[in-house]
Amino acid sequence: MLDAYLRPVIDIPLARAGRALARRGVHPDAVSFVGLGLGVAAAAALAIRLDWVALLLLLANRLCDGLDGAVARNVGGSDLGGFYDIVFDFLFYSGMVFGFALGRPDHALAASFLIFSFVGTGASFLAYAIVAAKRGLATEVRGKKAFFHVGGLTEGTETILVLAAICLFPMAFDWIAFGFGTLCWLTTAGRIVAAQRAFGS
């Protein structure tokens, strides 16, 4: 929901940083893999209850997630790069929750529900993108992407805010997980309705 409003704010500084990295010969896929490594480290930090370290690694991961696309726009993007970007995002989101559950198994039920909810949003997001591509649909409301990005209540910005909240307020994890998971299912339902309207004929 917030992604479309955030993009104009962050695109300018990201574009500048992307140009600088591209001039230095940095490949966008390399930035994506560094981001994945930082994401795995963030999940590991949660598993050993280093919550503030996890928060810092989360922010670094998100910086890489923005920079890989910015670099790609200067050196030329690729379908493989777009593939890496979305797969690494979903691995990061669920990995953070899994890491939290490893360190605090008494919250495993709420963590399972949240990961289950991520499956709904992820599947509806990707399925919509597949059909949209088949029909030649495109949008840049959320910035220039490798494929169609359909909106919803729980997009990338909201998910990052929730993961940050988990790092800051670990004792409130169950409330956060069940609350955000419910919003994820509303997003999934909304995308199903949107797909019925867009692709029903």
Residues 102-113 pLDDT 10s: 999 999 999 999
- Asked if 159 contacts 95 with a C-beta cutoff of 8 angstroms, the reply is no
Residue with tokens 């493989």: 80
Q: Domains in the chain, please, with CATH?
A: 3-199 (1.20.120.1760)
Determine which of 32-46, 127-141, 155-169 has the lowest per-residue pLDDT on average.
127-141
134, 141, 136: which is closest to 5 by C-alpha? 141
pLDDT value at position 182?
96
Distance CA(50)–CA(148), nearest Å, equals 36
pLDDT value at position 177?
98
Q: Which residue has the higher pLDDT, 41 or 154?
A: 41
- Asked if 143 contacts 7 with a C-beta cutoff of 8 angstroms, the reply is yes
Per-residue pLDDT band for 2 (boundaries 50, 70, 90) equals low
Helix axes 3-23, 51-75, angle to 10 degrees: 70
Residue with tokens 């930082």: 38
Average pLDDT along the chain: 88
